[in-house]
Amino acid sequence: MQPSGEAHLGNYLGALRPWVSLQDDYDCVFCIVDQHAITAGGHPSEMPANVIDLAVSYLAVGLDPERSIIFVQSDVQEHTELAWLFNAVSPVGDLERMTQFKDKSQHFESIPAGILNYPILQAADILLYKADAVPVGEDQRQHLELTRDIARKFNAVYGETFPETEALIDKGVGRILGLDGKAKMSKSLGNTVGVLAEQDEVWERVRTAVTDPQRIKRSDAGRPHVCNVFTLHGHFTDEVKRTEIESECSTAEIGCVDCKKTLSDSITDSFSPYRERATYYRSRPDEVRSVLLDGATRARAIAEKTMIEVRDKMGLDWQVRFD
């Protein structure tokens, strides 16, 4: 996940909550990808605080450094080394066909090479650890297919080295729309709410959420299954209460404001333990840094082993010829 500060609702539903569960079944590696983030611009002075804020979010929601490796991408230099080597087997045409490249490139008069090569670094992030599987959303499936292609091409040219990593897609989540009911949840669009937000802030955000566009007056019957607010209830409100809301909305017994208030309270209650843990970690920044540095040491041990093999297969360990 890119470090843009505290994680938000979309990050939680689409990534963090599934990640926490994955720790029960997999040896997990979780990376804060600051080197990806520089392709989006931003002021360098903000990056360190954003990294720590995201690390606090990781720890607060339940990513466990005792069970998983948690680190910052730039602390393991092998990520960028492998990304550069993957350029040798990555056709430019494949990169130019990436949907996200086409979308992002429209915002630049002169397109940075990092926007084109972004998925090569993603492939390195994954294959450096010879990952059997990676949790991705539907929007990243194309990038994962490119990762699999890179693994195949590398193996064909230099010998069997990397697995063809499988996608782990949480079918129960789907596409998470923002509170505007139109775009994907994004902090930059202001259509989400922070995972660690206090009750008043949660309500200030949720109260702006778009509901059923055909429900003009409170007396109009609502259509819960086309209402994004009701969809979000599915992630936070218990089944009994959701059934009640569905019935009362359909018969105009409750208004949209009531529905939003219930959602706001459900989100606030669900995130309460995370806020408490975040308070603990925010008061102990040295402990957060220690988790990240220890994670980088553990990640580097795996990465170095992979790169010794890669350099040898690509003929880059020339010194061994003279031993």
Q: Active-site residue numbers?
A: 104, 184, 187
Count other C-beta atoms under 10 Å from residue 49's C-beta: 11
Q: SS3 sequence, the chain?
A: CCCCCCCEHHHHHHHHHHHHHHCCCCCEEEEECHHHHHHHCCCHHHHHHHHHHHHHHHHHHCCCCCCEEEEEHHHCCHHHHHHHHHHHHCCHHHHHCCHHHHHHHCCCCCCCHHHHHHHHHHHHHHHCCCCCEEECCHHHHHHHHHHHHHHHHHHHHHCCCCCCCEEECCCCCCCCECCCCCCECCCCCCCCCECCCCHHHHHHHHCCCCCCCCCCCCCCCCCHHHCHHHHHHHHHCCHHHHHHHHHHHHCCCCCHHHHHHHHHHHHHHHHHHHHHHHHHHHCCHHHHHHHHHHHHHHHHHHHHHHHHHHHHHCCCCHHHHHC
